[in-house]
Amino acid sequence: MSRFRRAKESDLERLVEIHLAAYPDPRNVEARQRNFTHNPFGGLEHLVVVEDAGAVVGHAFLFPFQASFGGVAVKVGGIASVGIAPEARGRGIATALMSYLHGLSDRRGDALTMLYAFRHGFYERLGYATTSSRKRLAIDTRSVPGAWRALARGRVRGVRPGDDKTIRRLHARAAERASGWITRPKRFWEMLLARERRMTLVCEGRRPGVGQGNAKATGYVAFTLAQEQFHAETLVEVDELVAEDDETRRALLGALAGMRDQAAEIILEVAETDPLERALVDPDGRRFGTDAVEHGLGEIVGGPMVRIEDVPRAIVARGYGGNGAFDVVVRSSDDDEPDGIAVGVRVLDGRAEVGPPRGSVDVREPRALWTTRAGLAAILYGGLSVTDAVALGLADADGRLASRVDAIVKMPPLTSIDAF
């Protein structure tokens, strides 16, 4: 029978063995040890190991995160580095480990768990739902409008002593407006700012009547310059772009385009609804197409997966943009029968209250949203609209109810920028 406990220093050699088998990438032993002991989100105190017949056969992190949803900081269990020894696979140990982590997360009051899946199918069977996809654009540096480059002149500069506090403040404000941005701990910031190859540009705002130049920063962009080998093309790979207004965003992109004599392309991830590429001129300027795709601008990238355990807690934890009331019936998987969970939701001034449903749940109540637990997770925390969920067969609701609930639960697409 499997036994679960917190990891210890004496487990490290065995943990690295399992990690090497689960993640056969180029990282060396030292890097894998640091992943366990000096992870930017925590160390061994957050690592759970599973024993079978007295031997360690698996590991996984359960980080205590906070992330913004609907402008409210929500408690999230971040699951990462799930690994099972080769000889222990196919025996249900990974499923048992995940169940244990879900129980820990639920007992400490998390509203949801979140993870980056190595295979979506495995986690879907455990109740996880996909979240908003993103566009990973690969845009020619010459395609950025000249007016954007002009905006950067006199406003975008390199980092100065003391800018680290400014950058943290800008990130924190942006996180409040976004969906799924994790509150970064001190250790994360220290490791991030210490990266030698990471470069940062800061944009300053304008003072009315004074012209350009102002001590108040309104945004920043952090990036690395990548080159596969000597004399190959250089790419600007954007790690994060934070802007308090649209003009600042244009100025920061204009500053990156100012490196067009050195760099061929800017690689940038944006929300699936972002219209950025429509302002560019020949964004694929240095690439050739095919018969099937003449102008490829990038690719679609999946985000993390989310899961809810306690339905009422998940409903009340986040913030909302509209007022109203509706019933939610959680059905069992793809069956039509309720899963024992039917609640009435009332939202006022951005916060929800949960009580008994207003209508009957014995039949398809027109005032109720019917969905699975995973479907509800996608709607509440994955950026999926009720209208789209109904179209995809992930929920049932009449058109008027779907539109009304969408107006209440709508939030920005999930654009978490810190993989864990």
Query: How close are the terminal C-alpha atoms of the chain, in Å?
Result: 30
pLDDT given at position 337: 60
What is the rounded (10 degree) CA torsion for 396, 402, 405, 407?
A: 150
pLDDT given at position 209: 44
Query: Alpha carbon of 8 to those of 13, 15, 46, 52, 59: distances in Å?
Result: 11, 10, 11, 16, 11
| CB 124, CB 334: distance < 8 Å | no
305: nearest Cα among 112, 137, 136, 175: 112
pTM of the model: 0.92
pLDDT digits (tens, 9 = 90+) for 63-96: 999 999 999 999 999 999 999 999 999 999 999 9
Distance of alpha carbon 276 from alpha carbon 70, whole angstroms: 23
pLDDT given at position 23: 97
pLDDT given at position 210: 45
Using the CB atoms, write b or e for 19-36: b if 16+ within 10 Å: beebeeeeeeeeebbebb
In the predicted model, residues of the chain with pLDDT beneath 50 are 208-214
pLDDT given at position 288: 87
| CB 79, CB 115: distance < 8 Å | yes
Q: Which CATH class is domain 135-301?
A: alpha beta
pLDDT given at position 286: 80
pLDDT given at position 212: 46
Query: Alpha carbon of 68 to those of 196, 381, 420: distances in Å?
Result: 29, 10, 16
pLDDT given at position 363: 54
Domain layout of the chain by residue ranges: 3-110, 135-301, 306-409
pLDDT digits (tens, 9 = 90+) for 289-318: 888 898 999 999 999 999 999 999 999 999
Instruction: Please state the CATH superfamily assignment of the domain spanning residues 306-409 in this structure.
Output: SCP2 sterol-binding domain (3.30.1050.10)
Q: Which CATH class is domain 3-110?
A: alpha beta
Same CATH fold assignment for domains 135-301 and 306-409? no
Residue 228: partners with Cβ closer than 8 Å, 6 or more residues away: none
pLDDT given at position 213: 45
Query: Alpha carbon of 295 to those of 105, 141, 193, 280, 299: distances in Å?
Result: 45, 16, 36, 13, 12
> Token digits for 225?
């310059």
Distance of alpha carbon 102 from alpha carbon 104, whole angstroms: 5
Q: Which three-class secondary structure state does DSSP give residue 390?
A: helix
